[in-house]
Amino acid sequence: MSGFLSYVRRNPALGVGIGMLLFLLLFTTLGRLFVNPLHAYPLSVMPTQPPSAQYPFGTDVQGRDLLAVMVVGTGLTLQIGAIAGAIGLSVGIVLGFVAGYSGGVLDTVITSVIDVYMSIPGFLILVLIASIFSKVDLGVTEMGLIVSIVSWAGPARAIRAQVLSMRERPFVMMSKLSGMGTFEIIMKELVPNLAPYLVMSLSQTVYGGLQASLGLEALGIGARREPTMGMTLYYVQYYSALMLGMWWWVIEPIIVIVLVLTSLVMTSFGLDEIANPRRRKTV
């Protein structure tokens, strides 16, 4: 523990990022002890109330307590990003390792598919897919699954490049000579060596998934019945909160979104220093 704290002092970006993530997780978990989660949904409290002792974050025109919305919505927004990031990175890991280690025709086919897929604007794909389900009552899990569709290509390409650079190294060659099979070499030699890079990739993939989901929900495509930050922004636009003078309804979700995205960016920067020896600080 002391070693970790010592490293965080040398890597402030990682410390700040992890600290912000912990704060957000505590806010969305422990916060439920101080608010009624049901008040995050329409017609639960008095509508259009500015911040007060009774409603510290105010309420919106739908009769939702915005403190409850921030507490519940932060967790739901992070959940969407986590689902999209985990699935996208998992697919990227499989394709990246298979293409990078096997080479040959299989590598060419997978690389070609990735290149073609990445040439199509990801947000356009998401809008088309989400529009198909626009009349379906999407939930948080479904939104995460939809966003994961465009979250795999980037990690797959980057991981393939990493595996290509490692497969000819002496320790891999020695593993082959010792009789280890392909799967065993990947699991016992390549994955442990790439673990810091994979963790960093997860942070980046979650960040990308969150951005995509926020963009979709701000357009009104998503889990409309859930108080996510993206849907909160959609209702801010839909009900013209600024024209109504409801500044608190505008500022609060923006602050939460900035905190979430900044925490992931800072964590990614810090993990990149661990994954990239050239950037690693020794003093």
The CA distance from 267 to 5, in Å, is: 15
Q: What is the pLDDT of residue 185?
A: 85
Residue 49 in any domain: the answer is: no
The pLDDT-based confidence of 283 (bands split at 50, 70, 90) is very low
Give how many domains the chain has, as a whole number: 1
Averaged pLDDT for residues 73-78? 95
Averaged pLDDT for residues 76-84? 94
Q: Is 60 exceeded by the pLDDT of residue 279?
A: no
Q: Is 60 exceeded by the pLDDT of residue 67?
A: yes
> CA quadruple 63, 69, 73, 75: dihedral positive or negative?
negative
What is the tens place of the pLDDT at every residue in 232-268?
A: 999 999 999 999 999 999 999 999 999 999 999 998 8
Averaged pLDDT for residues 166-184? 83
Residue 133 in any domain: the answer is: yes
What is the tens place of the pLDDT at every residue in 12-33?
A: 888 889 999 999 999 999 999 9
Residue 167 in any domain: the answer is: yes
Averaged pLDDT for residues 67-77? 95
Residue 48 in any domain: the answer is: no
Quote the domain boundaries for residue 156: 2-42+60-279
Residue 50 in any domain: the answer is: no
Q: Is 80 exceeded by the pLDDT of residue 4?
A: no
Q: Is 80 exceeded by the pLDDT of residue 133?
A: no
> Are the beta carbons of 273 and 280 closer than 8 angstroms?
yes
Residue 14 in any domain: the answer is: yes
Q: Is 50 exceeded by the pLDDT of residue 191?
A: yes
Kindly report the CATH number assigned to the domain that includes residue 243. 1.10.3720.10
Per-residue three-class SS string for the chain: CHHHHHHHHHCHHHHHHHHHHHHHHHHHHHHHHCCCHHHHCCCCCCCCCCCCCCCCCCECCCCCEHHHHHHHHHHHHHHHHHHHHHHHHHHHHHHHHHHHHHCHHHHHHHHHHHHHHHCCCHHHHHHHHHHHCCCCCCCHHHHHHHHHCCCCHHHHHHHHHHHHHHCCCHHHHHHHHCCCCHHHHHHHHHHHHHHHHHHHHHHHHHHHHHHHHHHHHHCCCCCCCCCCHHHHHHHHHHCCCCCCCCHHHHHHHHHHHHHHHHHHHHHHHHHHHHHCHHHCCCC
Residue 227: closest CA among 107, 81, 67, 105: 67
Residue 47 in any domain: the answer is: no
- The first and second tokens of residue 101, run together, are 């280690």
Q: What is the pLDDT of residue 93?
A: 93
Residue 245 in any domain: the answer is: yes
Query: Among 12-16, 92-96, 200-204, which stretch is predicted with the lowest mean pLDDT?
Result: 12-16
Sequence-separated (6 or more) residues with CB below 8 Å from residue 232 = 69, 73, 253
